[in-house]
Structure 1
């Protein structure tokens, strides 16, 4: 059965489908209709101007959003049934480029033989190499919760630090601890007596060294390898 938090997440997912439908029916399809009408009247204008590329981009957006009405109806049935399923396994995130110049690149989560559309919020919760439990609505396949299930025998023990992590400087350890606390770049800049622009540069270099892409992944990785421990405490 759906928990209250999962029900709220499902309703939020339905609301996003409403926004997608608005964009599809109010903005994109009318533009495509006018563009196609103009192309029928003057085909040469379509191929001799940038309008052809714009048309292709909007066509890609239309294809991307075309499932929104169906997903909205499926989510409505999921809410009425209040059913939930779950799957476990190693998470594999794959990106797929949209059609056209402005069509969005979207990501999908592959886990336990299942595939799910992956929103940015959930993307930030996933660390490569960990086992996760995903609870989802059966018809719409909306993700309702994601939690790591890889256990640690002793909470105070950590996995051995990978070789390429061993070169982390004292400043990078400090940056990891501040990022893991959820501080903004401005707060981190004040704490380290740096400019926000310099902090963003350090962030990018740190992500590359840790093999991650987003700040939301820092805490899970830091806990896994004991990077939240202050090096001064070990002296």
Structure 2
């Protein structure tokens, strides 16, 4: 497993210049361990905790409706449907707009929606999955921003089973592009450590 925890090696006044595009087998990633400064990330985190309409949704898995192990909010210009769940968008907030614009400047992609996930503690998680719904297009660009408590983020190649792991710190940015969603699944595993909440934002473009 490749671990890209680069944060400890960076100086606090130099982190914003350390983002880089990474070519992986059948995929492309952009990794910036501290895209937003710690103080900026904390402000965004606190704003989003209170601004967003957080709710625990149920999805259909193997024919059964189950509650997702995290809280969610969907914001933007278009609805989104996955696993039998249709999410109608709440309006963009000023905080989300600022974060979106920063991500768009790197990806040269216009995002029209964002899925916010709130992991309340270590028992909240995201299982392995792909963001490959047809509404996302053939080579979707997904920009993932992490705020709050750090969590592991693991990618697994569908055929070779190779794993690549990132430690997502508050202010980290990871972009998945190219064929990544076609050949790789990703997850946020559980942890038994006593940890504080984390918010993850995944910006995307939904084709209508």
Assess same fold via TM > 0.5: no
Structure with the bigger percentage of helix: 1
Bigger radius of gyration among the two: 1
Bin the TM-score by the shorter chain: under 0.3
Of structures 1 and 2, the one with the larger relative CO (CA 8 A, separation 6+) is 2
User: TM-score, normalising length from structure 2?
Assistant: 0.22
